[in-house]
Each structure stands twice: as structure tokens, then as C-alpha cells.
Amino acid sequence: MKKFVAYYRVSTQKQGNSGLGLQAQKNAVANHISEKGNLIGEFTEVETGTRKKKRVEIYRAIELAKSNKATLIVAKLDRLARDVEFTSALFNGGVDFICCDNPNANKLTIQLLSVIAEHEAEVISKRIKDALKVKKEKIEKGIYVNKDGSVMTPINGEVRLGNPNGFGEFQKLGVKKIKENANNNKNNIQAMDIICSARKEGMTFQAIADKLNKLQYTTRRGKKFNPIQVHRLFKKCED
């Protein structure tokens, strides 16, 4: 029988624990694969609305589907279609997939959704930049009142854009410096030797992460490896 790997996503920890939304997704998947095959794995992404947390479970789901030649199944594509990272991961994952609410969706559909999602992200980014520009112009004119009626907090005695508490040293480095530090980090360099060799042997990103953690390798920030971090370092092997 056909093998399936399910991927679910809920918006908050409360929703994930209570089963609201999640159970509906599980029911949709169960009904779809009934008598068609077996569910060999389930992955649930629990997120807050801040989007600060990087996706982890989608990559684990894709890796399991790949290693078992299974089909990745999601309950509702419409709730994921605007997520650039999800659509990109699904399009580039190299696995068969199916959406319960849109069984005819294919790689072209996902690619189009990814483009639309990226466009929407750019529109939102521009909207934020325009709003900041207006706020900056107000500050230059001596107008320090926000839309909600509150007054802007001075930073070192001066009213300006930015965090009133200032930036930490990490933010001050800038993107270029941060990338340079990552490339030159000893932990990353040591881990890359294992990652590049392991991928040539056909190991999944999850298996490589498990191996690095077992050997007590850590990321440059001293934390355990996960599949996403392994995938990022693997890309440097191809550079």
C-alpha cells in the first residue's frame, strides 16, 4: 500500500495543545488516505504569530518522505499557501505530495503560490518601509505623537526611529559581518566536513543532525544541530 507522511500546522501553543484546528487537519488526512495507504509519520509545526521561529518540522517531514519513498500530505493548502518558506521547501523537496483540500495541486501550483507569497511579502515590506519613512519625516518636523496617541520614547535624549533600548552587538554587526562570522566559525567548519561526506553517502539532514549531536558538535552559538542548520551548511559544500 502507498505510504504517507502528514504535515500539520497550528498557529499557537494553546491551539496545538488543545487540538483546535489540529484535530480537524488530522481528520482530513485520515479521511483522504483511508483505504489508500498507511500513515508512517506525522509532524506538527506549532508557531506563534511572530514568525520568529524557523520552520523545522516541514524539513523533517520531507526527509522522512524521501527516505521512505512516501507521499507528503497536508490537510489544507490554503492556510499554508502564503508561507514562502513552506512553499519553497515543498517545491524543492523532491517528494510527491498531495493536499486534501486541493488534490489536483502539483509542482506548478506550488511554484505559482510561492511566487505569489513572495510578492505579498515584498508588498508588506514596502508598506512597512513607507510607514517608517513617514514616521521619520514626522520626527524631522518635531511631531513625536504616534497614531495611538502615545508619545515616542527618546533614545539617549533624542527622538528617533528604532528600539528605545538600543541594539545589541549582534545587530550592530550587520548582515555582511554576520555571514562572515558564520563562514569563519570553527564549529561550522568542523561540522561541514561531516555534513558534506554524510550527504554523499545518502544520509538525510535529520540523520546528520542526530550524528553531529551524538558526537557533541554544536552550532556556532553552542546549541544542538537541527535539519535546517545542517541544510544551510550543506549549501556551502556546493559553493
The residue-averaged pLDDT of 73-78 equals 83
Class of residue 118 by CB neighbours under 10 A (exposed 0-12, middle 13-18, buried 19+): middle
Alpha-carbon distance of 82 to 113, in angstroms, equals 7
H-helix or E-strand spanning residue 32: helix 22-33
Q: How far is CA 96 from the centre of its chain?
A: 20
Alpha-carbon distance of 225 to 70, in angstroms, equals 25
31 or 164, higher pLDDT? 31
Report domain extents, the chain. Answer: 2-113, 121-171, 177-237
**Residue 5 in contact with residue 43, Cβ under 8 Å?**
yes
Local structure of residue 145 (DSSP, 8 states): B
**Residue 198 in contact with residue 208, Cβ under 8 Å?**
yes
Q: How far is CA 144 from the centre of its chain?
A: 36
**Predicted confidence (pLDDT) per residue in 171-209, tens digit:** 555 555 555 655 566 677 778 888 888 888 888 888 898
Alpha-carbon distance of 86 to 91, in angstroms, equals 9
* 93 has a pLDDT exceeding 90: no
Cell numbers linked to 167: 541594539
pLDDT on residue 8: 92
The residue-averaged pLDDT of 70-91 equals 76
Of 21-30, 56-65, 73-82, 215-224, minimum mean pLDDT range: 73-82
Alpha-carbon distance of 63 to 112, in angstroms, equals 23
**Predicted confidence (pLDDT) per residue in 7-16, tens digit:** 998 876 544 4
Three-class DSSP category at 85: helix
Q: Does domain 2-113 have CATH number 1.10.8.60?
A: no
pLDDT on residue 169: 52
Extract the runs of DSSP E, i.e. beta strands, from 64-209: 71-74, 97-99
